[in-house]
Amino acid sequence: MHLDPFELHEPATVEEALELAGTLSGKFDYLAGGTDLLPNYKMHINLRPHLISLERVSELRGVSSNRIGAMTRLAEVEESPDLSRAYPGVAEAVREVATPLVRASGTVGGNLLLETRCFFFNQTYPWRQSLGFCLKADGDRCHVVPQKERCYATFSGDLAPALAALEAEVEVAGPSGRRRMPVEHLYNAAGDGILRLSLVPGEIVVAIHFPESARRARSAYTKLRVRPSFDFPELGVAAAVWGAAEAPEKVRLAIGGLETYPRRFDEDTDALAGAPLTDARVRTVAEAVTRRVRPVHNTFLPPDYRRRMTEVFVRRTLSRVRAPNGSVAA
Amino acid sequence: MASEASPYRLLGTRIPYIEGPLKVSGRAEYTDDLTRPNLLVGRLLRSPWPHARLRSIDVSAARKMPGVAAVLTGEKYPTTFGVLPITHDETALAVGKTRYIGDILAAVAASDELSAERALAAIQVDAEVLPEYSDPHVGLGAVAEPIHSRGLNGSNIQKEVHQHFGDVDAAFAEAAHTVRVRGTFAGVTHAFTEPLVTMAEATPDGRLTVWSATQVPHYLHRALSEVLGIPLHRIRVLKPEVGGGFGGKSDPLPHEIVCAALALETGRPVKMLLDREDVFLTNHGRHPTQNDLRVAADAEGHLLAYDLSAVIDGGAWSSFGTVTTYYNGVLAMGPYRVPNFRYHGRRVYTTKPPSGAMRAHGGTNVRYTIETALDELAEKLGMSPFELRMKNALPPNSTTITQFRITSTSFLACLKAARERSGFDEKFRKLPYGRGIGLGCGFYISGSNSPIHFTPKMPQCTVHLKADMDGGIAVHCMQADIGQGSNTLLAAIVAEVLGVQLERVHVVPVDSDVSPVDIGSYSSRVTFMMGNAARQASERLLALLLAAAHELTGYPAKQLRVREERYEVAHRPEVGVSYLEALHKAMEHSGALQASGAYTSPPMGGTHKGARAGTAPAYSFAAYVAEASVDAETGFFAVEKVWAAFDCGRPLNRLAVEGQIEGSIHMGLGQFMGESMNYRGSRLLNPSLLEYKIPTPQQMPEVEVLLVGADDPEGPFGAKEAGEGPLVAILPAVGNALYDAVGVRFYDLPVTPDKVWKGIERRRAEGTPWKGT
Amino acid sequence: MASRPLRTRVNGTALERTVPDERILLDLLREDLRLTGTKRGCDLGTCGCCTVLLDGRPTLSCLTLARSAEGREVTTIEGVTPAEGLHPVQRAFVERGATQCGFCTPGFILTSVALLRDHPHPSREEVARAISGNLCRCTGYTKIIEAVLAVGGGK
């Protein structure tokens, strides 16, 4: 399979990249690790005539205990002992991304901004043409929910929920300067697989920042997928708990792999603060969350199963982190 | 256990592949590694419609595009072909109609991929869309627009088989116990790592040369000749190294013919490498199947009858389908004695990618159906699954009711080894809830007795040997090593018989100009048939060498024995000559020595319609035990360990046999756990290695291989097949282990976690506890 | 259409040539340099047959632009193979039957060489995890894992 010709740009600084983005407005994609973009390009999905590679922007590199540069390879995060110790949930999520070979090239920023996925979208041009192009590429209809005029493609990144549960922030650079926001605010919570991000055109994810409090949290990530390698999440549950199991200060849950964006469930988990994290309370939250999620049939496993597994995975993930030693609270 | 003490020097040991050093260093040459000067790139335009009548294909614009050397459509080569002579229903490119999404409408040869793809995009196809038939059940009756004109009575039925042996109704009438199951099986595909690829070149001397990733160079040779209208002797087929086949390269495939046709059109070499999606669409994988089985047994557990009917989804073409339809029935005839048998099989065309032969062709789905039904029967009888099988095992030197000649069988030894090594009796129904152990057995042909030939009287395999002054021995044979180790076995047999070092033997790559015909790597025939032909050729060459040794030593050949690189007098070992001395002496008479050996399977089988299907000169047998654990909350399960007892007669290369068993278990587990060709209507949803779920290393169980076969009387050095039979037993072993774990029967493959979870929920809702849970 | 000069090292030898921007590393190796030991299995980053070492790290050459090799070191299976004989990992693959059809083998060798360099004595689980991005359809991975463990002195 070949790539259609494009012009590659290799800026050395964020500012240069933004300037290029301004000039090439609407005619480019940023290239981070390439493990998501290049397969899509080979399948002739939403091609642009220019690629701006962020590989040579040194500011975007590097991992420390409170910052991960967006162009850090997933494998580098995986191999960072400090980070793994500080944020076990993030370490678990990184280890579960795709395959070791994908993690060698794939980047943190790329995983955060992963294109949403759907059986009817991640296909070659002739395949999509033969069915009739869909909303998300070259067409005007949805093959998953035909009566609707929005896109249901699934957000399939593993890192976003893990970071969101820890209340990490993302630093973004754009034409009008830099800003920071909670990771989950990167995504459009209106639930659209096409208008999936809140970024303005040209904006670059620079880095992830962990608040001081994140180091005090116990965190975990549990991924549902058919195989223990290769596969994107069919459901990914991240949890973080601050404070003692008998009276946690705060509990956070974030879920990916189910809907068009990674979602946090503060309204459910806020009720868990201050009282012992008993099996019954964990189960109540797990059931409440399960009632809210709405997966559709555009991945390998059936949506009803993925929804029902939400309860199990939320319960299991919370149970793993509710106490320092994982034991059951009174 | 077979004795480790072998009467042979090489055979029976662990022989690393002779081409291994080339493979691990990237030096082995596969078709896509080859190139020719002035090479063109071939690309295919595939049908976007599942079923349509072609009104016109306008290629005029495409022909004028830069870099384009040729554009081809179907009408130029309308001759039909197919792997079975009785069901030629394919054309190289679609003629008149297109029958599935992926059917080839046109082909382009251009200077580069980009130019070729731009030309494809410029081709205008006008077609009338016809009804699609994705469900084989719909095609059982008359349909508005049959996919092929050869469908029976206006239906889409490609092949219907009715067989009845004994009196099944009477047997059921007197049965003490009966079991009825329906097994449904999604289609699975080979997913070899090397994509399909062909290179072809027509030269001014009037010859056509074709390099292809194929398991059946001879069948490809014939199909090229028939469709292109070129005599066989003007076509040269070469098989470079092949990156796996598993049946997926065992039909002559349309792209191979199209590539050759483009070479003829352009007078330039053309290479056609298929994308992975193309490979999925070419398919020829295992048939989606629905098996309805009733089993009757008497009060003591003796099997009385099978009553089996099947609906088999053939996809767009016949391929091996007529054989599949028979096999799905008659491969029920072992490893047990079944005195009454009725079978109604129907293979139905659908507007989907063609099904064909895949490892353990025709034997896998029916075996799962039977072995899980027998597990149910044993439970009804209150009998150990082992006892039930021992009671019904076919004995050696017996005949099935379908007239299959069973010579060697070590099935009882397989059962004994698997039972003892696994500790089955201590675990069965005694492990805690969520953990289970299960037995599954197998039986497979060791080479189809029916060659797909012009004249069935020709040998199925011929081997030529040439020994010259350098002391090397060249071996010529068209057998196709596709990774299973047949080159190594061929060399080892020659070295064994002649007593020479393995490194003296050179297996010459397949080249139809010099390789005598072997009909290819399918039906697990190579070890048995090529092995016998190689043995015969080697013994004939040895006779020439011993005659020379006789001249040199004065002792008659009968008194000489073969030692490493030496022929010596049996009772006076100090008297002898080296291999080279004997060779050079013999060459004084004739120059380079030559010898030839061939194998033709003996007459066998009954005279009823379809009697040849399933006949083989020998059969392999298997008894596998699997232990599995289930996460009852999620339905995820892990196969922890497999004890694989297998009867391949005498294993000639233990390393290769183990590799075949381990690989078969992996592939069988794939079909059980998650591999499936998923369709929406006629459209394949998962034509990629990402969405087609081949198990990962972490999902592979520990495998204990137990080789317990006794020598087969007709197999080369006592050997039988080990390439396909090792697959069939793993699926029911795991299915039965899951039942032992959670008390739920799974009859709908693949058994993905959601189905396990649903089954457990259903049992819970019914309020029937299992192992106290 | 844009092209620009690429300066890299391939198997220890400096390479300078002009490549189109969209050139994929796998194509550069196989088509331009005729280093055909690197295989094209799926072209979409799943099968791992195209694995090469980029600055020592196993990398999918089918999803890497040739430009990404600028100033870096590319090692293919040809670069791992000594002038005489075989690398210990290669030898173990042959002797233990870890190669059948051989098409995935160069990728597995490169992944294994890198694993054993960083973790000379891996456990069975570590090996299984390390190779879980390379697909083999023949061996069931059993003998591949055994071969890697054997080199690492494990069981």
What does the domain layout of chain B look like in residue ranges?
Answer: 20-27+459-599, 34-130+193-244+249-282, 289-449+607-766
Is the ipTM beyond the 0.95 threshold? Answer: yes
Residue B371 has pLDDT above 70, yes or no: yes
**pLDDT, mean of residues B729-757:** 98
List pLDDT tens digits, range A176-188.
Answer: 999 999 999 999 9
All residues of chain C having their beta carbon less than 8 Å from the beta carbon of residue A3 are 22, 24
Verify whether the Cβ–Cβ distance B101 to A130 is below 8 Å.
yes
What single-letter amino acid sits at B677?
M
Closest CA to B650 of B571, B592, B600, B710: B710
Give the separation between CA B463 and CA B534, rounded to whole angstroms: 6
Say if residues B130 and B47 touch (Cβ distance below 8 Å). no
Residue C111 has pLDDT above 80, yes or no: yes
Residue A148 has pLDDT above 80, yes or no: no
Query: Over pLDDT 70: what percentage of chain B?
Result: 99
Calculate how close chain A gets to C31, using CA atoms only, in Å: 12
pLDDT of residue B4: 54
Taking only residues 92 to 151 of chain A, the set having a beta carbon closer than 8 angstroms to any beta carbon of chain C reads 98-102, 104-105
Residue A277 has pLDDT above 70, yes or no: yes
- Which residue of chain A is at minimal alpha-carbon distance from C115? A100
Residue A252, SS3 per DSSP: strand
Max CA separation in chain A (angstroms)? 63
- Looking at 3.30.160.270, 3.30.365.10, 3.30.70.360, 3.90.1150.10, the CATH number of the domain B20-27+459-599 comes to 3.30.365.10
All residues of chain C having their beta carbon less than 8 Å from the beta carbon of residue A101 are 45, 48, 51, 58-60, 111, 133-134
Verify whether the Cβ–Cβ distance B26 to C97 is below 8 Å.
no
Say if residues A206 and A248 touch (Cβ distance below 8 Å). no
pLDDT of residue B453: 72
Q: CATH homologous superfamily for C3-80? A: Beta-grasp domain (3.10.20.30)
pLDDT of residue B454: 64
Q: How many CB atoms lie within 10 A of CB B241?
A: 23
All residues of chain C having their beta carbon less than 8 Å from the beta carbon of residue B656 are 97
Q: Is B511 left (phi over 0), alpha (psi -120 to 50) or beta?
A: beta
Model confidence band, residue A65 (pLDDT cutoffs 50, 70, 90): confident
Between B1 and A165, the more confident residue is: A165
Calculate how close chain A gets to C50, using CA atoms only, in Å: 10
Residue B447, SS3 per DSSP: coil
- Which residue of chain A is at minimal alpha-carbon distance from B691? A300
Query: Over pLDDT 90: what percentage of chain B?
Result: 97
Q: Which of C125, C132, C140 sits opposite B666 (nearest CB)?
A: C140
Number of A/C CB contacts below 8 angstroms equals 87
Contact with chain B for residue A124, Cβ under 8 A: yes
Model confidence band, residue B124 (pLDDT cutoffs 50, 70, 90): very high
pLDDT of residue B2: 43
List pLDDT tens digits, range B705-735.
Answer: 999 999 999 999 999 999 999 999 999 999 9
Give the separation between CA C106 and CA C94, rounded to whole angstroms: 12
All residues of chain C having their beta carbon less than 8 Å from the beta carbon of residue B484 are 100
pLDDT of residue B70: 98
List pLDDT tens digits, range B294-348.
Answer: 999 999 999 999 999 999 999 999 999 999 999 999 999 999 999 999 999 999 9
Tell me the C-alpha to C-alpha distance, in Å, between residue A275 and each of A269, A270, A271, B15, B310.
12, 11, 9, 66, 60
Q: Is B276 left (phi over 0), alpha (psi -120 to 50) or beta?
A: alpha
List pLDDT tens digits, range A242-260.
Answer: 999 889 999 999 999 999 9
Say if residues B221 and B236 touch (Cβ distance below 8 Å). no
CATH 3.30.390.50 fits A221-321, yes or no: yes
Verify whether the Cβ–Cβ distance A100 to C132 is below 8 Å.
yes
**pLDDT, mean of residues C43-61:** 98
Contact with chain B for residue C100, Cβ under 8 A: yes
Calculate how close chain B gets to A302, using CA atoms only, in Å: 8
Topology match between the domains B20-27+459-599 and B34-130+193-244+249-282 = no
All residues of chain C having their beta carbon less than 8 Å from the beta carbon of residue B17 are 94, 97, 99-100
Verify whether the Cβ–Cβ distance B674 to A226 is below 8 Å.
yes
Q: Who's near A234: CB < 8 A, 6+ residues apart? A: A224, A225, A226, A257, A299, A300, A301, A306, A309
All residues of chain C having their beta carbon less than 8 Å from the beta carbon of residue B117 are none
**pLDDT, mean of residues B410-427:** 98
Rounded to 5 degrees, what angle do the CA atoms A35, A41, A43 make?
105
pLDDT of residue A324: 79
Verify whether the Cβ–Cβ distance B244 to C137 is below 8 Å.
yes
Model confidence band, residue A3 (pLDDT cutoffs 50, 70, 90): very high
Verify whether the Cβ–Cβ distance B20 to C41 is below 8 Å.
no
Number of B/C CB contacts below 8 angstroms equals 169
List pLDDT tens digits, range C138-150.
Answer: 999 999 999 999 9
**pLDDT, mean of residues C116-139:** 98
Model confidence band, residue B426 (pLDDT cutoffs 50, 70, 90): very high
**pLDDT, mean of residues B160-189:** 98
Q: CATH homologous superfamily for C88-151? A: [2Fe-2S]-binding domain (1.10.150.120)
Say if residues A317 and A220 touch (Cβ distance below 8 Å). yes
Determine the topology of domain B34-130+193-244+249-282 in CATH.
Answer: Aldehyde Oxidoreductase; domain 3 (3.90.1170)
All residues of chain B having their beta carbon less than 8 Å from the beta carbon of residue C93 are 20, 24
Calculate how close chain C gets to A51, using CA atoms only, in Å: 9
Q: Mean of the per-residue pLDDT values for chain C?
A: 97
For the packed helices B321-330 and B364-381, what is the interaxial angle rounded to 10 degrees?
20
CATH number of A57-212: 3.30.465.10
Verify whether the Cβ–Cβ distance C40 to B241 is below 8 Å.
no
Q: How many CB atoms lie within 10 A of CB B38?
A: 12
**pLDDT, mean of residues B218-223:** 97
**pLDDT, mean of residues B212-227:** 98
Residue B479 has pLDDT above 60, yes or no: yes
Helices and strands (H and E) in chain A: how many: 12, 11
Say which CATH class B289-449+607-766 falls into: alpha beta
Could you state, in order of their start, the residue ranges of all structural domains in chain A?
57-212, 221-321
Residue A154 has pLDDT above 60, yes or no: yes
**pLDDT, mean of residues B586-606:** 96
pLDDT of residue B60: 98
Verify whether the Cβ–Cβ distance B693 to A301 is below 8 Å.
no
Residue A310, SS3 per DSSP: helix
- Which residue of chain B is at minimal alpha-carbon distance from A121? B685
List pLDDT tens digits, range A71-128.
Answer: 999 999 999 999 999 999 999 999 999 999 999 999 999 999 999 999 999 999 999 9
Query: Which chains contact A through at least 3 pairs of Cβ atoms less than 8 Å apart?
Result: B, C
Q: Mean of the per-residue pLDDT values for chain A?
A: 95
**pLDDT, mean of residues B166-178:** 98
List pLDDT tens digits, range B505-515.
Answer: 999 999 999 99
Query: Over pLDDT 70: what percentage of chain C?
Result: 98
Verify whether the Cβ–Cβ distance B48 to A126 is below 8 Å.
yes
Listed in order, the ranges of chain C carrying CATH 1.10.150.120 are: 88-151
Q: Mean of the per-residue pLDDT values for chain B?
A: 97
Taking only residues 193 to 232 of chain A, the set having a beta carbon closer than 8 angstroms to any beta carbon of chain B reads 224, 226-231
All residues of chain A having their beta carbon less than 8 Å from the beta carbon of residue B47 are 130
Q: Who's near B159: CB < 8 A, 6+ residues apart? A: B87, B314, B318, B321, B322, B325, B345, B346, B347
Verify whether the Cβ–Cβ distance C58 to A6 is below 8 Å.
no
